Amino acid sequence: MALAHEPTTAATVQKHQMLIDGQMVDSATGETITIESPSTREIFATVPRGNGEDVNRAVAAASKALPAWSKVAPRDRGKILLKIADALEAEIENLAKIIAQETGNAIRTQARPEATLVADVFRYFGGLGSELKGETIPLGENVLSYTRREPLGVVGAIIPWNAPVMLGALKIAPALCAGNTLVMKAAEDAPLGIMRVAEICQQFLPAGIVNVLTGTGAECGGPLSEHPEIRKLSFTGSTAVGKLIMKAAADRIVPVSLELGGKSPSIVYPDANEDWAIDGMINAMRFTRQSQSCTAGSRLFLHDSIFDSFLEELAAKLDAIKIGDPLSEEIDMGAIINNKQFTKVCGYVEDGLNQDDTQLICGGLPPESGPLSKGYFAVPTIFANTSNDWRLAREEIFGPVLVAIRWKDEDEAIRMANDSHYGLAAYVWTRDIARGINAAHNIEAGWVQVNQGLGQVPGHSYGGVKQSGIGREFSLEGMLDSFTQRKNVTINLATPPAPLT
């Protein structure tokens, strides 16, 4: 299929800046990159095209701000995060619109819930200041030995575009609560929402504590990951770039948190061939985010006895999903982020259509005419009778393309579920809870949900195993593990007392 999509330019193009050292600024070169609306293919904004020089300025500002910030009492840092949470709450509607426009994610089902969660994330971490506790080690009466939780220093964070504001908040809030300062690079496709969050943070913070840059991965993300003063790298995005980040970290022995891709299994038992499970599965596959989610349950393992009926019902429900303008309250599902991803998703669909033994249950290639052809709109698609070895069943598609695989034997279902280099999320559907728990324990994934397909909630220790990543964020434990280091202090109390004068 020829997909020649030329973006056009909106009547007015908003010019945005980035946050360095408390100021909204242009890039050092003055160059910009354009931001396109996925639902119209219109260029509607520009952001600075940051490079190594901008990274240097931002890291210098964060280093300068670090000593004072790290010495603010943790609960007082938390109080600032709570004020930011209040300000973000007042901004939910505006943020939701920005997110919908720049990501193409539908406002009612995705963008507004994301904006709401962002305020919640700041509120959650704002309450955790006094949990940055250490331990005392019982070495005997003559020794005082204790650990302190200290910040790591300047954190370098890089975020993607699929839930950009939530994923950005998830790095800013715990990093700051723990006393770090931060330089974050926004995704080039969706920088505007997180930049608005940064601006709001700045209203309550001294300069330099939060810096958010815009620019490309190679020109801005690369120098950030290699900067010698960065003491921690936290990355969310593709496994391929995650590997580059880890290599850059290895050169300087810098700790990393990586939240990477997934190809998450969803196992349906015969007793779950019911509406609640089908609705849950639609959520788990994140169809209303065009399945652009690392936790999408994109491999559907259906028991042989319910294979056809489950799919028939699922296809009927998917048919009712309203696709279109992300800013309309009527719409359930918006557009794919950009031409590159859209073309990639279409390539997988074509591959599926060209397989003789594979059955298309619903969907297919996107319409080439009509209102949906104006943007990067893909349609919910299911391929059945696929083998677990096939490209569509192994690679992260990051689009609304679900593969359905048959199973008869439970051990075989678990084996196939685990036969993936990814291990982020998983879903199990059964009324037999013992069975569900057993499956949950046997699946190699960082997060298994039984009988629901919901999103992350602050408090989960969220993250993956295998090539889905390293480290956990989103929780108290995640903050302690990912954004602090322990220092031990040991004092000998047996030294002879000095005479009192």
Strand partners for 35: 45
Q: How far apart are CA 161 and CA 343, in angstroms?
A: 17
Q: Are strands 42-48 and 8-15 parallel, antiparallel or unpaired?
A: parallel
Token readout for 15 is 């010019």
* CB of 395 vs Mg ion, minimal distance in Å: 23
* CB of 377 vs ligand NAI, minimal distance in Å: 17
- From the list Mg ion, ligand NAI, none, partner contacted by residue 40 (C-beta under 5 to 8 A by kind): none
The residue (of 127 and 242) whose beta carbon lies closer to ligand NAI is 242
* CB of 480 vs ligand NAI, minimal distance in Å: 23
* CB of 296 vs ligand NAI, minimal distance in Å: 10
Pick one of 54, 114, 189, 444: the residue that binds Mg ion (CB under 5 A): 189
DSSP string for residues in 234-257: EEES-HHHHHHHHHHHHHHT--EE
The residue (of 189 and 226) whose beta carbon lies closer to Mg ion is 189
Q: How far apart are CA 285 and CA 265, in angstroms?
A: 10
Q: Are strands 484-492 and 143-151 parallel, antiparallel or unpaired?
A: antiparallel
Task: Pick the catalytic residue from 294, 362, 444, 473.
Answer: 294
Which of 167, 93, 84, 171 has the alpha carbon at shortest distance from 126?
A: 84
Which of 49, 73, 51, 69 has the alpha carbon at shortest distance from 61?
A: 69
The residue (of 241 and 272) whose beta carbon lies closer to ligand NAI is 241
164-177 vs 476-483: helix axis angle to the nearest 10?
70
The residue (of 74 and 261) whose beta carbon lies closer to ligand NAI is 261
Triad 23, 47, 192: Cα angle to 5°: 85
- From the list Mg ion, ligand NAI, none, partner contacted by residue 226 (C-beta under 5 to 8 A by kind): none
* CB of 320 vs ligand NAI, minimal distance in Å: 27
Q: How far apart are CA 50 and CA 56, in angstroms?
A: 10
The residue (of 74 and 164) whose beta carbon lies closer to Mg ion is 164
* CB of 234 vs Mg ion, minimal distance in Å: 23
- From the list Mg ion, ligand NAI, none, partner contacted by residue 51 (C-beta under 5 to 8 A by kind): none
- From the list ligand NAI, Mg ion, none, partner contacted by residue 103 (C-beta under 5 to 8 A by kind): none
Judged by CB under 5 A, the chain residues 36 through 75 that form the site for Mg ion are: 36
The residue (of 189 and 444) whose beta carbon lies closer to Mg ion is 189
- From the list Mg ion, ligand NAI, none, partner contacted by residue 36 (C-beta under 5 to 8 A by kind): Mg ion
Q: Which stretch binds Mg ion (CB under 5 A): 10-18, 182-190, 280-288, 301-309?
A: 182-190
The residue (of 325 and 396) whose beta carbon lies closer to ligand NAI is 396
Strand partners for 406: 302
Residues that bind ligand NAI (CB under 6 A): 158-162, 185, 187-188, 216-218, 221-222, 225, 236-238, 241, 244, 259-261, 294, 341, 396, 398
Let me know: does 410 contact 267? Beta carbons within 8 Å. no
- From the list ligand NAI, Mg ion, none, partner contacted by residue 241 (C-beta under 5 to 8 A by kind): ligand NAI
* CB of 96 vs ligand NAI, minimal distance in Å: 20
- From the list ligand NAI, Mg ion, none, partner contacted by residue 352 (C-beta under 5 to 8 A by kind): none
Judged by CB under 5 A, the chain residues 18 through 37 that form the site for Mg ion are: 36
Q: What is the enclosing helix (H) or strand (E) of 201?
A: helix 192-202
Q: What share of the chain is helix, strand, coil (3-state, %, to 5)?
A: 40, 25, 35
* CB of 468 vs ligand NAI, minimal distance in Å: 8
Q: Which residues contact 404 (CB under 8 A, 6 or more apart)?
A: 300, 302, 307, 311, 361, 382, 383, 384, 385, 386
Task: Pick the catalytic residue from 259, 396, 444, 473.
Answer: 259
Q: How far apart are CA 240 and CA 391, in angstroms?
A: 17
Token readout for 198 is 């940064």
The residue (of 85 and 163) whose beta carbon lies closer to ligand NAI is 163
- From the list ligand NAI, Mg ion, none, partner contacted by residue 381 (C-beta under 5 to 8 A by kind): none
Active site residue 259: yes
Q: What is the enclosing helix (H) or strand (E) of 223?
A: helix 222-226
Residues in contact with Mg ion by the rule CB under 5 A: 36, 189
Q: Active-site residues: which are they?
A: 259, 294
